[in-house]
């Protein structure tokens, strides 16, 4: 199916990204998974090439173009070479951390952090989830107490992508009877990291538990408005969920492309397994599912660009596309037979990497609750 969402500028950008990916990313993907960490030089190379902070205003070192389609191209090219971990890490940087700063930061905060986040010399993380508060952020226990002109932070966060290597963490904490957001440089005394968490998938993307022990922050570390941290997070969740939806669609396309190629190379009973009717039927079903997913994603991406994407539409995209990706990758692995169960084959890593998409950014059960409440409100 012809895809008409992209224009010539997007095609030119894709060519540049594909060249960069072939040189700086594809050769290192398996090693990153083994090491549980992405080389910092890859971050700076991506920044120098203009792949980070595309939507950040140029006066802060970004590309000045908030068109989400450029982010989609990056996801498509990264997943095409199996760089799912690098995609996850840069998605946190570009679709979570940077938008918080662009939207809520003071001129001083933007000037301090955005240039280094855009050039890759700083890595950012978003600290929301806690051991006792996952999808239910109202249950967080991390506390920020005002002490004169300073804030004192105590608590912990868990499952924080980029947490082990981050230079900056945006932290959600309780302040009196509400919540607020804070910019926490990781070289601040009182900041402590746990070990890298041992995950099922996305193993090259470092994930950690973070601790704040009487961590003292200046007053200007507050991000946005005091007491409105929860609201600030809710307002930005549609962007995060669209990032997950776009990743899921790109990963499904990549898995299908890899599997289609495998089916016409791998032989059994004297012919390519793609020449068996059962295999062709399965490929036909997957190809159709991918086309439907792409159409759905493209429509919601244009709504996001226009500032018209609702929280409900974002929840629908995140829920449906992440679930579809899981089903597609499962079927693709089956078509690889025993080879699909070997981690040396990318499809095995795709399978493990896909499992988290229905979980993070709000579980899909929460997505259904959001959608269901909207249905009930209109009834």
The one catalytic residue among 240, 323, 344, 365: 240
Alpha-carbon distances, residue 367 vs 231, 238, 326 (angstroms):
18, 11, 16
240 is annotated as an active-site residue: yes
In terms of Cα–Cα distance, which of 96, 210, 97, 88 is closest to 158? 210
Phi, psi of 217 (to 5 degrees): -120, 145
Determine how many CB atoms are found less than 10 A away from the CB of residue 273.
19
Torsion over CA: 229, 233, 236, 240 (sign): positive
CA angle in degrees (0–180, nearest 5) for 51-54-59: 120
Query: Which tokens in the block code for residue 290?
Result: 């991918």
d(CA 151, CA 132): 23
Contacts of 148 (CB under 8 A, 6+ apart): none
In terms of Cα–Cα distance, which of 290, 365, 286 is closest to 321? 290
Could you tell me if 158 and 170 are in contact, meaning their C-beta atoms sit under 8 angstroms apart? no
d(CA 202, CA 199): 7
d(CA 154, CA 250): 39
What CA dihedral angle connects 243, 246, 52 and 202, to 10 degrees? 80
Residues designated as active site: 240
């Amino acid at each position: 199916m012809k895809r008409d969402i992209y224009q010539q500028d997007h095609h030119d950008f894709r060519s540049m990204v594909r060249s960069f990916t072939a040189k700086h990313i594809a050769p290192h993907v398996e090693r990153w998974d083994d090491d549980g960490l992405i080389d910092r030089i890859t971050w700076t190379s991506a920044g120098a090439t203009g792949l980070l902070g595309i939507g950040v205003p140029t006066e802060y070192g970004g590309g000045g173009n908030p068109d989400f389609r450029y982010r989609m191209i990056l996801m498509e090219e990264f997943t095409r070479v199996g760089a799912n971990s690098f995609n996850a890490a840069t998605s946190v940087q570009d679709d979570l951390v940077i938008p918080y700063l662009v939207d809520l930061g003071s001129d001083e905060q933007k000037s301090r952090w955005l240039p280094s986040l855009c050039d890759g010399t700083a890595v950012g993380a978003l600290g929301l989830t806690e051991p006792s508060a996952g999808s239910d952020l109202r249950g967080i226990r991390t506390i920020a107490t005002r002490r004169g002109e300073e804030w004192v932070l105590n608590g912990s966060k868990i499952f924080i992508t980029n947490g082990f290597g981050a230079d900056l963490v945006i932290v959600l904490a309780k302040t009196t009877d509400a919540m607020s957001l804070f910019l926490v440089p990781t070289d601040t005394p009182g900041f402590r990291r746990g070990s890298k968490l041992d995950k099922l998938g996305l193993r090259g993307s470092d994930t950690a538990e973070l601790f704040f022990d009487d961590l003292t922050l200046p007053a200007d570390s507050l991000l946005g408005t005091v007491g409105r941290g929860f609201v600030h997070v809710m307002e930005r969740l549609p962007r995060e969920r669209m990032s997950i939806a776009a990743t899921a669609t790109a990963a499904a396309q990549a898995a299908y492309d890899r599997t289609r190629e495998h089916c016409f190379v791998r032989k059994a009973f004297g012919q390519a397994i793609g020449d068996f009717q059962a295999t062709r039927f399965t490929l036909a079903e997957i190809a159709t599912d991918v086309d439907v997913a792409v159409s759905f994603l493209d429509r919601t991406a244009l709504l996001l660009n226009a500032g018209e994407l609702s929280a409900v539409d974002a929840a629908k995209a995140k829920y449906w596309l992440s679930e579809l990706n899981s089903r597609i990758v499962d079927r693709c692995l089956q078509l690889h037979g025993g080879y699909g169960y070997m981690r040396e084959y990318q499809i095995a890593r795709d399978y493990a990497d896909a499992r988290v998409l229905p979980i993070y950014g709000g579980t899909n059960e929460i997505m259904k609750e959001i959608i269901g409440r909207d249905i009930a409100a209109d009834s």
